[in-house]
Amino acid sequence: MKKIAVEKALSYSFEDNFINQMANILQSMYNLNKDFENVKKPSRLEKCMANAPLYLKNKM
């Protein structure tokens, strides 16, 4: 009887721990997504400037 109780306790703690870990991961992903939404979108000029080195490299 005691062995079963210990196994149940271990499985519950594992499940709780797993659920808490998943919740933390989801919360982190949500927070990251919010951070990205708050970053301003790059302008056309900034995109061109970012691609300029690649463009020049391809031209040479």
Q: What is the pLDDT of residues 15-33, one digit of tens each?
A: 888 888 888 888 888 888 7
The vertex-26 CA angle with 21 and 27, nearest 5°, equals 95
Hunting for tokens 């998943």 — which residue is that? Answer: 22
Helices and strands of the chain, counted as H and E runs: 2, 0
Rounded Cα–Cα distance for residues 30 and 38 (Å): 13
In this prediction the pTM is 0.41
Say what the pLDDT of residue 1 is: 62
H-assigned helices in 1-60:
2-38, 44-59
| DSSP state for residue 40 in the 8-state scheme | P
